[in-house]
């Protein structure tokens, strides 16, 4: 079915952008002033500021603090259409996208920026037991589970006089795993402690299980070591070089050992959106599409792949699937399309474009409320850790990354919430069930051979 409304007989080029993440939004904003008609398609109605998702998960911020309707972001630009829908197929020859709702969109340029999702390495049954963190919904589910684990332990303590060890197991030691671990540790010790009478949340133990030999694999060794030190200070137990072989309600098996868990979270694998394969393009094993210097897949100069979904190699290394490259790719594609249109109209002579180049300003991960590691590449090179890195993280996230909202308003609201750990965000909504917790002997609690511990029995179980 043809698109009504777009096929208006004009010679304006039609750009379809799939995905409203960093890549898609930057491409759209870059095209806003150009003589093209743009349709942005996303399953969600909102763009999410993913680097702060873990703060939703840990009840520091509210969803509205870090997400914004895509319509609102693009509201001022009359050449933009926003469609809450999902691409499910392509006719690459005819340049058409088939949407889930049944409609088809025609395009002259297609920008595919649908990112990545969790990969459970073929163990999809683990998804319900160990949720990952990619969307607002994911974050609220993690929040629900973490907060509920404390509530259920308090209840079990009141009922039986003991409660399961408050182990929070995080599978994966990349930035997300480290940030979740630091934040859980912090809220347990600093804030939850005051709220409970019978359990002692500060005795909770956060465990990171990482398959490779180090955490934060993308960081230099000194920062990995700094992160290890800072995590240790927070009481986080890090197990590297251990592969998780089973995830069950209430426990995890890693390196042959059973680790009890009141709440298990997934921060390990990601896989690219399936659209690369749906387009019939060559992908790496993660599902990312191999692209050339202009971010085109082979033989398709009209298709651009940006963000996580692009397998782009620069100086012999693959550019990582994080926010900065995605934004820069989006910017680049908008400029590239602008140049191509200029060329089409004969205004510009031969197209001059050396291709995309990722400008790495650095990388950061927070570890709790006062520490972080920062690999700074610009405006100078440095490796920072501890409080200076955390301050840098704060400033960068407020002033550089939150680009298209009223920064002052976000800053005020966020700083307030962050500095006070305001109570409102620690809401549990939705179901009151947790995997591994059920009625046994007439009382609801964690099932199986759980490790229970009298209230005043010292430090966390160290396995």
Residue 218 corresponds to which tokens in the numbers above? 């993308």
Residue 178 corresponds to which tokens in the numbers above? 């480290």
Strand 251-254 relative to strand 269-272: parallel, antiparallel, unpaired? Answer: unpaired
* Min dist. Cβ of residue 8 to its own copies (A): 12
C-alpha–C-alpha distance, residues 327 and 403, integer Å: 11
* Cβ contact 168:205 at 8 Å: yes
* Min dist. Cβ of residue 428 to its own copies (A): 4
Among 75, 128, 232, 345, the residue binding its own copies under the rule CB under 8 A is 75
User: Taking CB under 8 A as the rule, which mask of x and - marks residues 165-204 in contact with its own copies?
Assistant: -----------------------------xxxxx------
* Cβ contact 124:410 at 8 Å: no
Active site residue 179: yes
5 lies in the binding site for its own copies (CB under 8 A) = yes
85 lies in the binding site for its own copies (CB under 8 A) = yes
**Nearest Cα to Cα of residue 18 among 28, 31, 4:** 28
Q: For the segment 117-156, give every residue that binds its own copies (CB under 8 A).
A: 136-137, 140, 147-148, 151-152, 154-155
Q: Which range in 120-128, 158-166, 213-221, 222-230 contacts its own copies by CB under 8 A?
A: 158-166
* Min dist. Cβ of residue 114 to its own copies (A): 16
User: Within a 13 Å sphere around the CA of 112, how many CA atoms are in the beta-carbon half?
Assistant: 35
3-state helix, strand, coil in the chain (%, to 5): 35, 25, 40
* Min dist. Cβ of residue 161 to its own copies (A): 4
454, exposed or middle or buried, with CB in 10 Å at 0-12, 13-18, 19+? Answer: exposed
Q: In angstroms, how far is the first alpha carbon of the chain from the final one?
A: 61
Given the residues 179, 210, 225, 302, select the one marked as catalytic. Answer: 179
Q: Which range in 17-25, 203-211, 233-241, 424-432 contacts its own copies by CB under 8 A?
A: 424-432
Nearer to its own copies, 66 or 171 (CB): 66
33 lies in the binding site for its own copies (CB under 8 A) = no
* Min dist. Cβ of residue 417 to its own copies (A): 8
225 lies in the binding site for its own copies (CB under 8 A) = no
> How many secondary structure helices (H) and strands (E) does the chain include?
12, 30
**In the 8-state DSSP scheme, what is residue 88?**
E
433 lies in the binding site for its own copies (CB under 8 A) = no
C-alpha–C-alpha distance, residues 343 and 87, integer Å: 29
With CB under 8 A as the rule, give the number of residues binding its own copies.
66
65 lies in the binding site for its own copies (CB under 8 A) = yes
* Min dist. Cβ of residue 69 to its own copies (A): 5
**Nearest Cα to Cα of residue 228 among 236, 171, 220:** 236
C-alpha–C-alpha distance, residues 33 and 274, integer Å: 31
157 lies in the binding site for its own copies (CB under 8 A) = yes
Nearer to its own copies, 191 or 290 (CB): 191
* Cβ contact 306:113 at 8 Å: yes
Residue in this structure with the two tokens 């990952």, named with its chain if needed: 132
Among 9, 349, 379, 442, the residue binding its own copies under the rule CB under 8 A is 442
Q: Which range in 71-79, 164-172, 173-181, 388-396 contacts its own copies by CB under 8 A?
A: 71-79
C-alpha–C-alpha distance, residues 357 and 436, integer Å: 48
* Min dist. Cβ of residue 100 to its own copies (A): 8
Nearer to its own copies, 253 or 428 (CB): 428
* Min dist. Cβ of residue 78 to its own copies (A): 8
Among 23, 81, 183, 228, the residue binding its own copies under the rule CB under 8 A is 81
Residue in this structure with the two tokens 């939150």, named with its chain if needed: 402
**In the 8-state DSSP scheme, what is residue 189?**
I
Q: Which range in 117-125, 288-296, 387-395, 418-426 contacts its own copies by CB under 8 A?
A: 418-426
* Angular region, 358: left φ>0, alpha ψ -120 to 50, beta rest: beta
Residue 29 corresponds to which tokens in the numbers above? 């904003």
Other beta carbons less than 10 A from residue 203's beta carbon: 20
C-alpha–C-alpha distance, residues 208 and 173, integer Å: 6
C-alpha–C-alpha distance, residues 116 and 273, integer Å: 5
Among 45, 117, 202, 392, the residue binding its own copies under the rule CB under 8 A is 45
Q: Which SS3 state, helix, strand or coil, does residue 225 take?
A: helix
Q: For the segment 93-112, give every residue that binds its own copies (CB under 8 A).
A: 100-103
User: Taking CB under 8 A as the rule, which mask of x and - marks residues 271-310 in contact with its own copies?
Assistant: ----------------------------------------
42 lies in the binding site for its own copies (CB under 8 A) = no
Site of interaction with its own copies (CB under 8 A): 1, 3-5, 43-46, 62-69, 71-72, 75, 80-81, 83-85, 100-103, 136-137, 140, 147-148, 151-152, 154-155, 157-161, 194-198, 405, 409, 413, 416, 420, 422-430, 432, 439, 442-444
Catalytic residues: 179
């Amino acid at each position: 079915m043809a698109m009504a409304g777009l096929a208006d007989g004009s010679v304006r080029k039609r750009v379809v952008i799939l995905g409203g993440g960093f890549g898609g939004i930057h491409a759209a904003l870059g095209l806003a002033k150009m003589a093209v008609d743009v349709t942005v398609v996303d399953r969600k109605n909102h763009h999410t500021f993913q680097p702060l998702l873990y703060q939703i998960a840990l009840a520091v911020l509210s969803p509205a603090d870090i997400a914004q309707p895509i319509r609102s972001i693009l509201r001022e630009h009359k050449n933009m259409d926003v469609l809450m829908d999902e691409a499910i197929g392509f006719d690459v020859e005819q340049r058409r996208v088939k949407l889930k709702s049944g409609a088809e969109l025609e395009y002259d340029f297609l920008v595919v920026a649908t990112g990545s999702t969790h990969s459970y390495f073929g163990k999809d049954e683990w998804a319900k037991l160990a949720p990952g963190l990619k969307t607002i919904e994911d974050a609220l589910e993690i929040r629900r589970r973490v907060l509920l684990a404390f509530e259920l332990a308090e209840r079990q303590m009141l009922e039986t006089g003991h409660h399961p060890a408050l182990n929070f197991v995080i599978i994966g030691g990349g930035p997300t795993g480290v940030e979740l671990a630091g934040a859980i540790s912090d809220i347990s010790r600093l804030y939850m402690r005051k709220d409970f009478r019978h359990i002692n949340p500060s005795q909770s133990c956060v465990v990171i299980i990482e398959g490779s030999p180090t955490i934060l694999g993308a960081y230099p060794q000194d920062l990995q070591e700094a992160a290890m030190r800072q995590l240790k200070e927070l009481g986080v137990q890090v197990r590297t070089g251990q592969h998780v072989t089973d995830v069950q309600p209430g426990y995890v098996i890693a390196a042959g050992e059973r680790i009890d868990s009141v709440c298990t979270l997934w921060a390990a694998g990601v896989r690219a959106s399936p659209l690369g394969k749906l387009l019939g393009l060559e992908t790496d094993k993660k599902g990312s599409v191999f692209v050339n210097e202009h971010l085109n897949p082979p033989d398709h100069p009209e298709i651009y792949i940006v963000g996580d979904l692009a397998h782009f190699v620069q100086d012999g290394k693959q550019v990582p699937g994080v926010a900065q490259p995605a934004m820069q790719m989006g910017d680049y594609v908008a400029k590239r399309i602008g140049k191509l249109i200029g060329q089409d109209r004969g205004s510009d002579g031969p197209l001059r474009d050396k291709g995309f180049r990722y400008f790495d300003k650095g990388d950061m991960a927070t570890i709790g409320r006062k520490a972080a590691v920062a690999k700074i590449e610009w405006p100078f090179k440095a490796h920072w850790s501890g409080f200076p890195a955390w301050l840098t993280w704060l400033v960068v996230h407020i002033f550089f990354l939150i680009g298209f909202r009223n920064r002052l308003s976000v800053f005020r609201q966020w700083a307030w919430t962050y500095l006070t750990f305001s109570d409102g965000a620690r809401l549990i909504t939705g179901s009151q069930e947790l995997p591994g917790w059920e009625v046994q002997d007439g009382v609801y609690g964690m099932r199986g051979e759980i490790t229970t511990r009298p209230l005043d029995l010292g430090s966390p179980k160290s396995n």
